[in-house]
Amino acid sequence: MDKQSITLTVNGRNVEFEAEPRKLLSDALREDCGLTGTHVGCEHGVCGACTVLVDGRPVRSCLTYAVQMEGHEITTIESVGEHGALSPLQQALHEAHGLQCGFCTPGIVMTFQAFLAGHPDPTEEEIRDVLSGNLCRCTGYQNIVSAIQLAARHMREGAAHVAT
Amino acid sequence: MKPAAFSYFRPASIEEALEQLASLGAGAKLIAGGQSLGPMMNMRLATPAQVIDLNDLTELAYVREAGDWIEIGALTRHYQLAESPVVRRHCPLLAQAAQTIGHYAVRQRGTIGGSLAHADPAAQLALIAVTLGARLKLVRPGATRCVQAGDFFVSAMTTALEPDELILSVQFPKAAPREAAAFKMFNRRHGDYAIVAAATTVAVEGAKVQRVRLGLGGVAPMPRCLDELTWPFLGEMPDERWIWRLAAAARQAIAPEDDARISALYRQELAERLVARALGRAISVLHG
């Protein structure tokens, strides 16, 4: 199948490249957009490592073709935090030892970036239900759950602080 | 794990989608959420020559009341089923089951039309459609028709959809006033397909059972509706003994097959337990 021109809006920037329709969004982000923060694990929607946001909602980028995403807003891990200024969720993962090798972390950050925006005060059960879609082979999950609880608390306190 | 080459079509209207489906023929495949088709294509279990993307047909994403029924557009996502106030109020069984599909990210993307058309024998939405006697509205160029869920599922991964036909919407009956619903499933890992799943609604009149709907998934190539089985149990008090008698009857009524990993006996025992748990849950909601 011939390559065609595809324009994606990633982290607020338009990126144009040539690719076949079968090009996965995960591969397009890494190879054509130069954004290698999105990791590729299982490539069939099980591990959650490649999770990005499409119009603000978490999506497996390995189950999405780049060509489908024209006209949608894609958000990747590269848009979260800055060097020297981690996002509250990243900071909490750091403080609570919520990662070891870090391979699964971008997918977890993107998943909970979306979840915590809509659920500022989640129960542990809700956190574990959502986290079940992201495989981590290092941590045993306990510290990830703690980190998400910590991040939620910091974000709530931050919001309350802003509100006053 | 990359899909085989395909050409891509992105219709802007239902009419355009139907024209493309009719003209492209059997090599074309409709894609909605892609949460089942995507993995199958990545693993090359599916190699469509053309992919027709339905995601721009946002007119097919809705939940609305229609008299004694609720009508749900085919492009409605699983999270919308789980969160919709209309679904939660009038069809709580559907909302409960939708909340258990796959994982959080999968529910953001997967659609009711896609799940029903895929017809996985273990899928939640197929089971709920059969249990509640849902009606599917199908369209092809120049014609629409209505099909009962029980007639829609022909076998595992096989439906009554014609090659040039797509699902427009699905209608579910509204719950009766004194009726409670429960969905119970068992899987090895959170988010996996169920090995066996049970869905039920129990309606009472006074203290006695007036109507039971009962469905089982994972015990046959397609979901089983066991309503007839419940008829001798109507008009009784739904106590513990009643629950276990009905659960035992459900176990007797199914004949799952052995497969490489799961024995028929295990599925039967799971079915009995899950039916009992679902009935118990529904009855405790009624008493609650």
pLDDT given for residue A160 in this prediction = 78
Residue of B52, B54, B104, B190 to mutate when probing chain A, most A C-beta within 10 A: B104
Residue A136 φ/ψ, nearest 5 degrees:
-130, 125
Chain B residues whose CB is inside 8 A of the A65 CB are 3, 8, 51
- Supply the CATH classification number for the domain A88-163: 1.10.150.120
B46 touches chain A (CB under 8 A): no
* Inter-chain Cβ pairs, chain A and chain B, closer than 8 A: 84
C-alpha distance from B236 to closest chain A C-alpha (Å): 37
Nearest CB to B6; choose among A21, A43, A130:
A21
C-alpha distance from A164 to closest chain B C-alpha (Å): 31
Percent of chain B with pLDDT over 70: 100
* CA dist., res. B238 & res. B177, Å (int): 17
Residue type, A28: A
A20/B39 Cβ within 8 A: no
Whether residue B153 contacts residue B126, with contact meaning beta carbons closer than 8 Å, is answered with: yes
One domain for residues B200 and B160: no
Chain B residues whose CB is inside 8 A of the A63 CB are 34-35, 38-39, 42, 109
Q: What residues of chain B, 139 to 158, have a C-beta less than 8 Å from chain A?
A: none
Q: Which residue of A has its CA nearest to B104?
A: A130
A22/B2 Cβ within 8 A: yes
* CA dist., res. A150 & res. B4, Å (int): 44
Tokens representing B98 are 């939708």
Class of domain A4-79 as given by CATH:
alpha beta
Q: Which residue of B has its CA nearest to A2?
A: B7
C-alpha distance from A157 to closest chain B C-alpha (Å): 26
Chain A residues whose CB is inside 8 A of the B190 CB are 128-129, 132
A129/B104 Cβ within 8 A: yes
A27/B3 Cβ within 8 A: no
One domain for residues B152 and B66: yes
Q: Which residue of B has its CA nearest to A65?
A: B38
Chain A residues whose CB is inside 8 A of the B55 CB are 68
Structure ipTM = 0.94
Query: What CATH number is associated with residue B136?
Result: 3.30.465.10
One domain for residues B67 and B162: yes
pLDDT given for residue B288 in this prediction = 82
Widest Cα–Cα separation across chain B: 61
B3/A59 Cβ within 8 A: no
By residue range, what is the domain housing residue B30? 7-52
Residues making up chain A, counted from first to last: 164
Among B173, B204, B225, identify where a domain stops.
B173
Sheet holding B179-186, edge to edge: B179-186, B196-205, B208-217, B224-225
Chain B residues whose CB is inside 8 A of the A64 CB are 34, 38, 109
Whether residue B9 contacts residue A67, with contact meaning beta carbons closer than 8 Å, is answered with: no
Is the pLDDT at A162 greater than 80, yes or no? no
pLDDT in tens, B195-232: 999 999 999 999 999 999 999 999 999 999 999 999 99
Whether residue B81 contacts residue B98, with contact meaning beta carbons closer than 8 Å, is answered with: yes
What is the separation of C-alpha B90 from the centre of its chain, rounded to a whole number of angstroms?
16
pLDDT given for residue B205 in this prediction = 95
Count how many domains chain B has.
3
- For the stretch A114-118, contacts whose Cβ atoms lie closer than 8 Å and that sit 24 or more positions apart, written own/partner, are A114/A53, A114/A56, A114/A57, A114/A58, A115/A58, A115/B104, A116/A89, A116/A148, A116/A151, A116/A152, A116/A155, A117/A56
* CA dist., res. A2 & res. A19, Å (int): 8
Chain A residues whose CB is inside 8 A of the B1 CB are 42-44
Sheet holding B28-31, edge to edge: B7-9, B50-53, B28-31
B34 found inside a domain: yes
Whether residue B117 contacts residue B165, with contact meaning beta carbons closer than 8 Å, is answered with: no
Is the pLDDT at A50 greater than 80, yes or no? yes
Query: What CATH number is associated with residue B205?
Result: 3.30.390.50
Region(s) of chain A under CATH 3.10.20.30: 4-79
C-alpha distance from B68 to closest chain A C-alpha (Å): 32
Is the pLDDT at A164 greater than 70, yes or no? no
What distances in angstroms separate CA B49 from CA A84, B9, B70, B256, one per listed residue? 48, 11, 36, 35
pLDDT in tens, B117-168: 999 999 999 999 999 999 999 999 999 999 999 999 999 999 999 999 999 9
What is the separation of C-alpha B151 from the centre of its chain, rounded to a whole number of angstroms?
13
A62/B34 Cβ within 8 A: no
Torsion sign (Cα): B155, B160, B166, B169 = negative
Nearest Cα neighbor of B150 from B215, B200, B93 is: B215
Query: Tokens 């997967």 identify what position?
Result: B110
* CA dist., res. B161 & res. B153, Å (int): 9
pLDDT in tens, B56-94: 999 999 999 999 999 999 999 999 999 999 999 999 999
A59: confidence class by pLDDT, cuts 50, 70, 90: very high
pLDDT in tens, A76-109: 999 999 888 999 999 999 999 999 999 999 999 9
pLDDT given for residue B110 in this prediction = 98
pLDDT given for residue A163 in this prediction = 65
Q: Which residue of B has its CA nearest to A45?
A: B39
Is the pLDDT at A131 greater than 70, yes or no? yes
- For the stretch B228-231, contacts whose Cβ atoms lie closer than 8 Å and that sit 24 or more positions apart, written own/partner, are B229/B253
Region(s) of chain A under CATH 1.10.150.120: 88-163
B53 touches chain A (CB under 8 A): yes
* CA dist., res. B134 & res. A84, Å (int): 55
One domain for residues B140 and B222: no
* CA dist., res. B76 & res. B54, Å (int): 12
C-alpha distance from B108 to closest chain A C-alpha (Å): 7
Is the pLDDT at A161 greater than 80, yes or no? no
Helical spans, DSSP H, in chain A = 25-27, 88-95, 105-118, 124-131, 142-163
Average pLDDT in chain B: 97
One domain for residues B164 and B211: no
Is the pLDDT at B239 greater than 80, yes or no? yes
Q: Is B153 buried (19+), middle (13-18) or exposed (0-12) by CB count in 10 A?
A: buried
Q: Which residue of A has its CA nearest to B99?
A: A129
Global pTM value = 0.96
Chain B residues whose CB is inside 8 A of the A22 CB are 2-6
B180 found inside a domain: no
Nearest CB to A63; choose among B39, B55, B191:
B39
One domain for residues B90 and B155: yes
Chain B residues whose CB is inside 8 A of the A129 CB are 104, 190
Query: What CATH number is associated with residue B44?
Result: 3.30.43.10
